[in-house]
Amino acid sequence: MNSFDPIELAVFKSATQSVAEEMGAVLRRTAFSPNIKERRDYSCAVFDSSGQAIAMGDHMPVHLGSMPMSVRAAMDALTLEAGDIAILNDPFAGGTHLPDITMVQPVFVPPESRPVFYVASRAHHADVGGEYPGSMGLCRTIDEEGIRIPSIKLVWKGETDPTVLNMILDSVRTPEEREGDLAAQSGACRVGEMRLQELVARHGQDKVQQLCAELLNYSERLMRAELAQMPRGTFSAEDFLDNDGFGSDPIRIHVSITFDPDATSAHVDFTGSSPQVASSVNAVFAITYSATYYVFRCLLPEEAPANAGLMRPISVHAPKRSIVNASPPAAVAAGNVETSQRIVDVLLLALAQAIPSRIPAASSGTMNNLTIGGTDPRTGRSFAYYETIAGGMGARPNADGLSGVHTHMTNSLNTPVEALEYAYPFRVRKYAYRPNSGGSGKFRGGDGLIREVELLADAQVTLLSDRRKFRPYGLAGGEPGTAGQATHTSENKTHEIPGKSSLFAKAGDIIRIETPGGGGWGKRNS
């Protein structure tokens, strides 16, 4: 076993993480769509020669935990050479849902004939075709949700393949925006390639590979040390999605977390969860694995390296053809954004039985996905707006929850009013905290938000949200947060919008979204 100076390992950890962070900065600065450049709905990561994640940017948890599966899919399907970049978005090959497009680039360092690293960028594209503008509507099969891209080379030895690019652009409503965002992703990968080559030039190939291996081992040791402090036994919990949007009963997600007698490993089992359903709330296994990764990562200090080593002591089982491990041809768009949040809620509820003094109450539990698409009268071109709208954070065992923030599997921002009105034919009439929507308790849950948008053009409006029936739970006697709601006002008549639905709205209509508050923690005055 190699012995490393802890300072040297810490410097290497920071160096590789900075590569992922710089990739994200390049992607953000050069992207075309507000969803990427303003909301920061993207992620970048660095992988070793075998495809194991060694460094991640502080980006989107739902992307990062699943991205290694997309890298593996590209490695298995293609022979990637210097200057090549693979593209894919298939949820059944490591992806999350179709709008999340991943690019994978190998990093070669002469005289090596095989890649010594891989870099990857993933970004949520505001439209990838399909039945609904924004590609985030209720569908019954994945074929209705948009273009499904298998592992294929977009760039060959530094040159973009026009046939592949045009195949993608011809399938979407906003080809110019998509082309710009894809170019930004390619540029981010190339920056990652250059920085890693510089890293090898400074330290040498052998030393870098040894440091990669030790960084993974170090993360594994940290996780095993954390698991050793857990009480032995099995801790179970369940929670529900409101429905599938097509009139189903509530959808159960059940988990059992077993801390094994060896005191250094854990098994997470989702047996008992509902079968996959007829709508897009199905989650693929990559989502379930990613949510599990996120929750256990949160048990460690912030400075712990986030890489593949963290999951070595943890096994995850999700029954096939279930809501947490859907099979083709299931629709999955909302599984990435809604079911992922409920999986986190269930995992935290189970952990609250084991370590109650460390676990917060439920946060809003929904990404409140709003998509609006139509023709912009200012330009005569199609537009597709997509946004997740923040809610309340669950109260913590020692502090109130924050208000109006993205939590858990999303780490994005709300689109600024100025950027929204500049890019789309909208007028924002109200943008404020939702008073008293957080659950009461010794510590209060954070409040949700109110976003009220007036349409300046006819448009299709689609909402994918949850926590309308099952409110964000409180813990230790705290009260649940207030459920979410949405309304559509047209010709002075206001109607409630179901949490998962789509409607045609006219210019002058108003869409109002009120997001859930977080649950409270502890009994008031206790």
- Collapsing DSSP to helix, strand or coil, 186 comes out as helix
Q: Which helix (H) or strand (E) holds 513?
A: strand 510-514
Identify the CA nearest to 236 among candidates 223, 220, 251, 255: 255
Phi and psi for 191 in degrees, rounded to 5?
A: -65, -40
| Residue 474 burial (CB count, 10 A) | 27
If we measure between CA atoms, which residue out of 53, 39, 67 comes closest to residue 369?
A: 39
- CA–CA distances in Å: residue 61 to residues 71, 93, 330: 16, 18, 23
Q: Give the span between the Cα atoms of 195 and 91, in whole angstroms.
A: 29
Q: Do 34 and 423 meet the contact criterion of CB atoms below 8 Å apart?
A: yes
**Residue 485, amino acid:** Q
For residue 463, the tally of other CB atoms under 10 A from its CB is 25
Give dist(CA 113, CA 109) in Å, integer: 8
The first and second tokens of residue 59, run together, are 């980006």
| Distance between CA atoms of residues 40 and 210, nearest Å | 33
Residues 6+ apart with CB under 8 A from 337: 62, 97, 136, 367, 369, 388, 409, 410, 464
Q: What is the pLDDT of residues 48-85, one digit of tens each?
A: 999 999 999 877 877 788 899 999 999 999 999 999 99
Q: At a CB cut-off of 8 Å and minimum separation 6, what does 334 contact?
A: 97, 136, 138, 245, 279, 280, 281, 369, 464, 500
Per-residue tokens: 65: 């935990």
Task: Assess contact for 269 and 350: CB atoms under 8 A.
Answer: no
Say whether 62 sits in a helix, a strand or coil: helix
Structure tokens at 128: 């990838």
Residue 65 CB neighbour total at 10 angstroms: 30
Could you tell me the two tokens for 73?
């899919």
Query: Token pair 């309308």 is at which residue?
Result: 468
Residue 128 confidence (pLDDT): 97
Burial category of 247 from C-beta neighbours within 10 Å (exposed 0-12, middle 13-18, buried 19 and up) = exposed
Q: What is the dihedral of CA 164, 170, 176, 178, to 10 degrees?
A: -60
- pLDDT average per 10 residues of sequence, the chain (526 residues): 78 95 96 93 95 89 86 97 97 93 96 93 96 95 97 97 98 97 98 97 93 96 96 97 96 97 91 98 97 96 93 97 98 97 98 97 97 97 95 98 96 90 97 98 98 98 98 98 98 97 98 98 85
Segments making up each domain of the chain, as ranges: 6-219, 360-526
Is 103:185 a contact under the CB 8 Å cutoff? yes
380 to 178, 180, 374, 376, 477: CA distances (angstroms): 18, 19, 10, 5, 55
pLDDT tens, position by position, 293-308: 999 999 999 999 999 9
Query: To which H or E segment does residue 237 belong?
Result: strand 233-241
DSSP state of 91: G
- The predicted structure's pLDDT at residue 63: 79
Sequence-ordered strand ranges (E) for 287-435: 314-317, 369-376, 381-388, 426-433
Q: How does the average pLDDT of the chain come out, rounded? A: 95
Find the Cα–Cα–Cα–Cα dihedral 8, 11, 13, 15, rounded to 10°. Answer: -130
- Domain 6-219 sits in CATH at 3.30.450
Residues β-bridged to residue 188: none
Cα gap 523→525, rounded to integer Å: 6
Question: 342 φ, ψ to 5°?
Answer: -70, -30
- Lookup: tokens for 14: 């920071």
The CA–CA distances, whole Å, from 72 to 69, 211, 278, 282, 516 equal: 5, 21, 29, 22, 37
Rounded to whole angstroms, how far apart are CA atoms 423 and 372? 12
* pLDDT the model gives residue 1: 43
Q: How far apart are CA 366 and CA 86, in angstroms?
A: 32
